[in-house]
Structure 1
Amino acid sequence: MDEYYEKKAKANDELIACWCWLCAALAVVAVGVAVVKWIISF
């Protein structure tokens, strides 16, 4: 039973890490788009 929970916890950590990378990538894209729009507005 413990092994099941350990595997589940490990999978959870990987999922959280995946979401962190996804959020970071989205933030970078959002900043990039904002900068491009700001440059175009001049």
Structure 2
Amino acid sequence: MFQKILIANRGDNRRQAVAAKARAGAAGAVPQPDGRTSAASGDRAAG
């Protein structure tokens, strides 16, 4: 899948590149909000 994303980013079709970045961002952003919310809730509990 990563190879397809790299190829899409190198291609001239911006729509494919944006879609590939959106998919990669959605997959990569899943753990980040959980970490941020857990850290925020921890800070709130400590505060």
Tell me which amino acid in the other structure corresponds to 1:32: G
Normalised to the residue count of structure 1, the TM-score between the two structures is: 0.51
2:38 to 28, 32, 40: 28
Unmatched segments (≥5 aa) in structure 1: 38-42
Q: What TM-score, normalized to structure 2?
A: 0.47
How many residues are paired up? Answer: 33
Greater gyration radius = 1
Q: Which has the higher helix share?
A: 1
Q: Deviations over 1:1-42 (max 9, x none)?
A: xxx56xx666643321211111110000000000000xxxxx
2: CA distance, partners of 1:32 / 1:18: 23
Q: Which runs of 4+ in 1 moved over 6 A?
A: none
Pick 1 or 2: higher relative contact order, CA cutoff 8 A, min separation 6: 2
CA distance in 1, matches of 2:38, 2:28: 15
CA RMSD of the aligned region, Å?
2.1
